[in-house]
Structure 1
Amino acid sequence: MNPRRAGLAIASLSVGTLLNPLNSSMIAVALLTLRDAFGLDVLTVTWVITAFYLASAAGQPLMGRLGDRFGARRLFLFGMIVVVITCVLTPFAPTFWLVCAGRVSLAIGTACAFPSAVALLHPITTLSGLSSPRLLGRLQMANTAGAAIGPVIGGLLVTFLGWQAIFWVNVPLALIALAGVRTFAPVDHARGRQPMRTVLSDSDIPGVLTFTAALVTLLVFLLGITQKPQWTLLAAAIAASTLFVWRELTTRTPFIDLRMLSRNRRLVLVYTGFALFNIVYYVVFFGLPQYLEEFGDYRADAVGLLMLPLASLNVLLTPFAARFIERRGIRPAFLIGVGWLIVAAALLSLLTASVMPLVPLLITAMMGVPYCVVSIAMSQALYSSATRESAGVATGIFQTSRYIGAILSTTMLGIAFSDGTTPASWLEVSVAATILAVVLLVLVSRWRPVTQTK
């Protein structure tokens, strides 16, 4: 494989990789439109976000395992086909819950991309002789840029074409990724056929179901905690969590290898820190558009433009952040990035005094810096902390940490905005985000490179 062919393969994989974060963020500026279109309240409409993240959280490790079993290239192509079919059909859904079902299917399709792309890096670098860190950096840039540019693209699409367009836009992108990977990526090795019973057993379906049940029941409980707490749901969440832990500790092929995690404290710090970071980040990512549209009376396209500094800074700073980490190390990047995040979270409170364009522009610019730096540092810390043998599964769990953080952020927003999107409720969000950012700083300061461990 020549370098040009390898570059085209990575470019195609990058297009597929950005679809999941792109769809996780485009929806942020469509919430008010969906509420009006289907006559929903603020708590109900968040399920269009939650459904996507629940499916992504459970799907990433599972897709990584299926890619190892059936071939990363095959899984990637399958995922892009699912995306195309889903995004052609969902815009015609007559009910909100069918839209949520479409978001679940979209999450499953896009969840195939990142684990497959990481798995394909090894054969691509082996055949082409290119540097794997450089190619990995391109995938990371696509993964972070996809989420950053989502509100800008989503705002324009929703304003001029309606909420349906945030599904349609995926069709050409998925087709480009599918054609590119099919043409340029190395073919999977031949694999022996296995009985369906063996495939299902090794996929740990009970583990996936109990994990999802625990997340869903806990989330529904938290969403209703400010009104009439459903304690039976909390009990169900605890029971499902207990069953999940028991299943993962006793099965031969666990969905999430808890024993592996218990032996790798550095990896646990990465997962926990990444989940915390995404709570803070997505509270702003989902909360700010709602606040600006409802309280500030901005149109969706205007909100997308106000989020533009976040996208542009993320793209511009990614090469510099990667170079800084290469020269100075991961830990300094952690400390600088999270320190900046604390300042940015504290500045959120400025929006309680004014929603004039300059204020949200300042805030989104401030958030763009830590999103770039901390995201890349977390990715590098993951690959530094994970063993080669468990890299695929570790990558899937890493993505699950992202979605758990995003799910919890929607829960926080649902609770804070339950009585209306007002300056008082936004102040609650700002204080909570700042506190969580401080906790994150304490946590990442405990992470050490492997060369410094005893």
Structure 2
Amino acid sequence: MTKAAASGATAFGARWLTPLVIGTLLNAVNSSMIAVTLVPIGRDLGVGATHTVWLVTVLYLTTATAQPVMGRIVDTLGARRVLTAGLAAVVAAGLLGALAPSFWVLLAARILLGVGTAAGFPAAMAMVRARADELDLPTPSNALSVLATSTQASMAVGPTLGSLLVGIGDWRWTFAVNVPVAAVGLILALKWLPPDEHVRRGGPRPPLDLAGIGLFTLTLTTSLLFLMGPGDLGVLFLGTGGLAGAGLVWWELRVRDPFLDLRALTANRPLLATYLRQGSGYLVIYAFLYGYPQWLSESHLLPEAAIGLAMLPMSITTVTLSAFGARLGGSVRARLVLTAGALLAGAVALLPMSAGTAIGFVVAVGLLFGVGQGLSTVANQTVLYAQAPQDRIGALSGLFRTSQYLGALASTSVLAAAYGQEATDSGLGTLALVLTGVAAVLMAVTLADRSLRTVR
């Protein structure tokens, strides 16, 4: 082991990483765990599917908006302070959800949960960067892999954990479980993580651009609501988003210390390419993840248990490559090219598939998407780490996650257009064509990005 590697292993040991892992995994596990609770929630609280689906949607909307906001607060007030505040909010959200007397209180708990869990990833990235810079260490690939793996694994086990908790108790347990987990994370963060640098030195805090944050939140929220197909309110959401966006650009270009430094952001083309790779990659991944099981059920006529088994190799591949992909050798650029290649090959392989396709081929296609998902997050996260300036890494890490959520939300629109009322073979073919086009763009963007040659 080299001296730098030994120093990195000591600097990013289990004690230091554990509270960061807890902070980052809470968002992912709460995103997927809710899926198995919607029916019993609707039954107990007297609402239908049109209401309960908002428990899923509102967390995505809140998190997509709150990640860069919490990231900027991290840059301004300090990562440890924001992480602990976020964990405290998760404890409160867990209690509120577990005791919710009505659907609307439960919805408020999900919003609070989204805000609290949004603090984890930007705070973790900022603390990893600050520690590596303080000790003059190279890119801490192992620490970044741990954070990415915890997210991927917790998302994968979320439905299983949710089913177990509902079976032991009821759906309220899926909210209550956040209380002890977040409380442990809060205690460990206060005990093991160092104070924020400017707090320790007593230095002045930079101002927080509240107007910019408000305009950004309004712009992104209304734009996402429009893209999700709000029906009669579409014109209102589109107009509000456009006006708020124009106001955001006008304000951010004039304020001294903006929430979003648009000049620096637009000048940093490699960083914009990273956001595009993450967003387009996850559009392909989520469209497959949501759409493939539906097609297997409605066209291939597989029972639910068989679908779960068919998708299991993909999940195992994703988690394994998230954990160990960086140790397989090769540059970050090579892993990103392999990511794009695996997704492109998977999308092309979907084109000739039909209800008569052999089950072995069905599983093999899933493995290709598992390779793409497993390699993409750690590699893009490493590139983000190298491209983002230290004083803005919180906000820029938040935007990285926002690009991922935008890809996920866009995938639902793609699925709706491709499938319509039923996931037929023809609909899968349409979906495959769209995903092939997006994956081809992803490959082109990756190959054209010369800055990736310098990232280690």
Q: Give the alignment's TM-score, normalised by structure 1.
A: 0.82
- Deviates most, 287-296 or 22-31: 287-296
Match of 1:384 in 2: 386
Cα offsets for 1:371-428 (capped at 9, x unmatched): 1111122112212322334333322221221122222223434555663565555554
Q: Percent identity?
A: 33
Aligned equivalents of 1:84, 1:26: Cα separation in 2: 17
Distance 1:7 1:418, change over 3 A: same
Q: How does 1:43-442 map to 2 (within 5 A)?
A: 45-122=52-129, 124=131, 132-157=140-165, 162-188=170-196, 189-190=199-200, 202-224=207-229, 230-288=234-292, 307-324=311-328, 327-348=329-350, 353=355, 361-414=363-416, 419-420=421-422, 425-442=427-444
> Relative to structure 1, is the Cα distance of residues 169 and 432 closer, same or farther in structure 2, using a 3 angstrom cutoff?
farther
The 8 Å contact of residues 203 and 255 in structure 1, kept in 2 or not, is answered as yes
C-alpha offsets along residues 111-170 of structure 1, whole Å, 9 cap, x if unaligned? 111222222225655788987333333223223333333344345445665544433333
Q: Which runs of 5+ in 2 are unaligned?
A: 1-6
The DSSP-based 3-state class of the residue aligned with 1:274 is helix
Equivalent residues of 1:54, 1:407 under 8 A apart? no
Q: Which residue of 1 aligns with 2:4?
A: none
What SS is found at the alignment partner of 1:390?
Answer: helix
Q: In the alignment, is the contact (CA less than 8 A) between 1:210 and 1:241 conserved in 2?
A: yes
Task: Give the 3-state SS of the residue equivalent to 1:449 in structure 2.
Answer: helix
> Which has the larger displacement, 266-275 or 207-216?
207-216
- CA distance in 2 between counterparts of 1:5 and 1:272 reads 29
Report SS of the residue matched to 2:450: coil
* Conserved 8 A contact 1:149-1:308: no
Alignment check: 8 A CA contact 1:57 1:403 kept: yes
Secondary structure at 2:389 match in 1? coil
Counterpart of 2:200 in 1: which secondary structure?
coil
Secondary structure, counterpart of 2:390 in structure 1: coil
2:346/2:368 contact within 8 Å kept: yes
Q: Does the 8 A contact of 2:279 with 2:403 survive in 1?
A: yes
Change (3 A) 1:148 1:256: farther
Moved more, 419-428 or 98-107: 419-428
Q: Which runs of 5+ in 1 are unaligned?
A: none
| Aligned partners of 1:124 and 1:185 also within 8 Å | no
State the aligned residue count: 443
Greater mean deviation of Cα atoms: 397-406 or 383-392: 383-392
Alpha-carbon distance between aligned partners in 2 of 1:343 and 1:144, rounded to the nearest angstrom: 22
SS of residue in 2 equivalent to 1:224: coil
Corresponding residue of 1:17:
24
Deviation at 1:10, TM superposition (A): 0.8
Q: Residues 75-112 of structure 1: CA distance to partner in whole angstroms, max 9, x if unpaired? A: 21211111122122214435544433322211111111
Equivalent residues in 2 for 1:35-50, closer than 5 Å: 39-41=47-49, 45-50=52-57
* Native 8 Å contact 1:313 1:369 kept in 2: yes
Question: Could you tell me how far 1:340 is from its partner in structure 2?
Answer: 0.6
Aligned-residue offset at 1:448: 1.8
Q: Report SS of the residue matched to 1:187.
A: coil
| CA-CA distance at 1:271 after TM superposition | 0.8
TM-score by length of 2: 0.82
For the aligned residue pairs, the C-alpha RMSD in angstroms reads: 3.7
Equivalents in 1 of 2:434, 2:159: separation in Å? 23
Residue deviations 1:277-303, cap 9 Å, x none? 12222223344566667886855x876
**Partner Cα separation in structure 2 for residue 253 and residue 341 of structure 1:** 40
Say which SS state the counterpart of residue 16 (structure 2) adopts.
helix
What SS does structure 2 have at the residue aligned with 1:445? Answer: helix
2:3 maps to none
Q: Which AA in structure 1 matches 2:188?
A: G
Measure, in 2, the Cα distance between the counterparts of 1:248 and 1:313. Answer: 42
Whole-angstrom CA distance in 2 between matches of 1:413 and 1:36: 28
